[in-house]
A and B are shown apart, each in its own frame.
Chain A
């Protein structure tokens, strides 16, 4: 923490300040007063400068603490921590405007950026402008060709196009056999939707679509379980253990 604060104040050697070495401590205090705090006029700092004559310096430091109204602390670490905080506050108050953009959200964004591996934009689509008028016209033309109703948002329209292509036109879909069986009379379920047919009909269709995607998810889950079972399953029975009760 001490190092961070020293860094923030642009101390020349933030990593090598040993607060228990009285001489280092004294010169750090002097650096703070000279560069940041400036409590005294330059000529009044004479005694604080005498870091080689610690007796004089200690006396000056006592006065200095009193003049800054520093609270009573026990260890030099506590004292320097307070002083650093004070100095940082002064720095901030000199130009609060310039710090207003720095907040936790922005900072974490910055940090994430540096952590995340930089991906080279090799994908052709990464550089594409999805709002270019040519792109929009293209999507609309595609939709017309596939007989998909237009939607004001061309990106949503694109999703619909993708879905139709995936489910109807992809190679796997083309080779799929037509589903045989009794068609489901979806207007007759055990469920109640609404008396209003204009509401009832679309809600039932949406529910069926939802069930279809849930079924796909569940099937994937089951396939995963079966794949794991291939590795772990080893059912055993031992009829010798069995015992019929009373």
Chain B
């Protein structure tokens, strides 16, 4: 890696608008395209500080700063357009989390990289609405949180309550949400309101190792640990009344449930297995990258295809997982309010994936091209009238669900034309980490974190209280800054703001 003094580094960065920076091609070796990132003034400071710290003499270890990671991605073979950093970007394995990049499917040297998808394949957010209001839920929120906690197992090593055998698992990996539908865990309308209709058709369970399947089997229907959560939320603000009403959100105070989870140990194992294969493929095909963590393989190679098929199976796993939790949430609410999920109007508003690679068509330099779009910590945000979004959202644009951190608010945005042109229809995914997990553990006390949540009137059920400081709001960027930047840049549009009143997490 090139190490230059901070002042030298800044010469390669240029602010091109109020909230967008350009990374010039000379910033890192072999950059095929430019990089860019979206930040407002507060996020800009965080971003540049990170770069400054890495320029200090003797700064070694840890991940590279996000700016460098964006630039290294821009040096990967077959990349088109720009390597794009969203406002919630923070360093990750290979690709930064909050980095999206698209590769030309027709270019035989184009690559697919597991680091560009992330270890939690098809981690995503699902939002359910209800016809309840805050006044109905506030008195019983402790019981509701407990009921959710009883239904949805959380934490490291948790096991789900939906009985599954190895055969069911194979079918679920191939069918995704269609499996949940067939078995009756979800409603037909849920599939309609899910990215990819809840099933990637190229999934091939035979490309998945036995080890991954063994890890995944008992974990279906569990939330997991880390930043995953299920929250009962209240509509706090409506910015776009008309789009909100299309989503069934009519008034402030309406109650929603947000589920943030992924493919658990299954996806992690799929990614780990693929990285081993890809190192071999890189040697064979002589693929050079700036960072060893950017292991990748040509899309058309055996390794590349195998990964895409296994990744699709992991994506299907995640959809079945979120669907199972949807079922359990509906059960919990129905029991609590002594009615049926139907009468509570508990429809899925939408389900987004923010760790995934997908083949999509985009206009590049005035021509339509088929691209493999990597979104890691980035959410698809397609504009109105895009054929891949549900018919109910054809006029509003695709709903984008942005989960905040424990105790802070979450947002619903909609996709825009501008985002389609500038960022391949992608936007932010969450708050984005500001402190590393280790640093959070050192600087914060879990008792303070829990007390603070209590003061805010948020009921919390957590499997491992001693780890909550990793997920404390102080460890993250301000989600409002992140969302405001996306709104200001026009790559997505603010629609609804939600605040939590009960949280369950690992």
**Which residues in A have some Cβ–Cβ distance to B below 8 Å?**
185, 188-192, 207, 211, 214-215, 218, 221-223, 225-226, 228-229, 232-239, 241-246
Contact = CB atoms under 8 A, between A and B. Distances in A.
Nearest to A186: B395
Given A215-B391, A242-B153, A245-B157, A190 B188 contact: no
A228 B178 CA distance: 11
A235 B464 contact: no
B158 A245 contact: yes
Of A190, A207, A244, chain B has the most CB atoms within 10 Å of the CB of: A190
Contact of B327 (A225, A235, A243): A235
B161 A242 contact: yes
Given A189-B395, A190-B395, A190-B397, A235 B157 contact: no
A238 to B, nearest CB: 5
B394 A232 contact: no
Contacts of B162: 235-238, 241
Contact of B184 (A191, A214, A234): A234
A245 B463 contact: yes
A218 B395 contact: no
Given A215-B391, A245-B464, A237 B161 contact: yes
Contacts of B414: 190
5 contacts: A191-B395, A191-B397, A215-B391, A229-B188, A235-B162
A232 B156 CA distance: 33
A222 B192 contact: yes
B154 A245 contact: yes
B159 A226 contact: no
B182 A228 contact: yes
A46 B210 CA distance: 78
B91 interface: no
B181 A229 contact: yes
Interface residues of B, number: 48
B506 interface: yes
A180 B417 CA distance: 32
Given A191-B384, A235-B327, A245 B163 contact: no
A228 B175 CA distance: 15
B462 to A, nearest CB: 10
A185 B241 CA distance: 13
A185 B245 CA distance: 13
A157 B296 CA distance: 57
Contacts of A222: 188-189, 192
Contacts of A188: 242
Contact of A214 (B157, B182, B394): B394
B184 A246 contact: no
Nearest to A245: B155
B327 A207 contact: no
A202 B184 CA distance: 43
A39 B15 CA distance: 89
B495 to A, nearest CB: 9
Of B155, B188, B189, B385, chain A has the most CB atoms within 10 Å of the CB of: B188
Given A229-B181, A229-B184, A233-B182, A190 B416 contact: yes
Nearest to A235: B184
A214 B391 contact: yes
Contacts of A245: 153-158, 222, 225, 463-464, 506
Contact of A207 (B163, B191, B243, B385): B385
Contacts of A229: 181-182, 184, 188
B183 interface: yes
